[in-house]
Amino acid sequence: MAGRKFFVGGNWKMNGNKSEIQSIVNSLNAAPLNDQTDIVVSPPAVYLEYTRGIISPKIRTAGQNSYKVAKGAFTGDVSPQMLIDVGADWVILGHSERRNLFGENDQLIAEKTAFALESGLGVIACIGEKLEEREAGRTEEVVFQQLAAIAAKVSSWDKVVVAYEPVWAIGTGKTATPQQAQEVHAQLRNWLKEKVSESVASSTRIIYGGSVTGGTCKELANEADIDGFLVGGASLKPEFIDIINARS
């Protein structure tokens, strides 16, 4: 915790249309939300500008992905500059679905992270192990390797939020226990202390993503090294408000 501001992101993934987004936004705008929490929602890219136009100014928006250059012959991709142009402040990079469904490797994610930061976006940088990696006792090895690739390209951590997302707990209904999640968060913070600096380790927010619900969020939020959440499916539901307010 150590003075780090709580951070909750809602990753809407490939879900929603204008009427559904209007409904979600109406409920968020009307809800009493904790002023001590940074709140970000990440709609599909085609709805970013629409969402920004109707959502409360205290809620920021994020792209779900961006490429490593400003423009060019990269069909179907978007650049940080385009995200900024439609009102985004953040971008999610390295999400397990990008890594495991679309084949993005550590090097590409690191390059995209560096360019997004240079361009002025904040980055929610995702790392996490698969079930077979956890069961083989390789959690530390995998998440340290993913974080090391990012760290090698990042000069300033001021606008980086690290999201630990155990792949085995995304969309599966399985959740790491608060103790399991805290253990990895503490290991990641210690890695940052040893490999980057003590100040980066103490100030960088490390958030948890992995089937977080209104029912599990408060206990997770009480752990010393869990500084918030990156929420998938639950961010489309009313319980997202409870998750935002988990530490109030």
Residues annotated as catalytic (active site), given as ranges: 95, 165
Contact 241, 28 (CB under 8 A): yes
Contacts of 161 (CB under 8 A, 6+ apart): 7, 9, 122, 123, 124, 125, 204, 205, 206, 207, 227, 228
The residue behind tokens 């929602």 is 41
Among residues 168, 151, 73, the alpha carbon closest in space to that of 107 is found at 151
d(CA 141, CA 89): 31
Residue 180, classified by CB atoms within 10 Å of its CB into exposed (0-12), middle (13-18) or buried (19+), is: middle
Contacts of 195 (CB under 8 A, 6+ apart): 148, 151
Contact 160, 204 (CB under 8 A): yes
d(CA 222, CA 116): 31
What secondary structure does DSSP assign to 88-133, as a single string? --EEEES-HHHHHTS---HHHHHHHHHHHHHHT-EEEEEE---HHH
Among residues 4, 10, 2, 3, the alpha carbon closest in space to that of 217 is found at 10
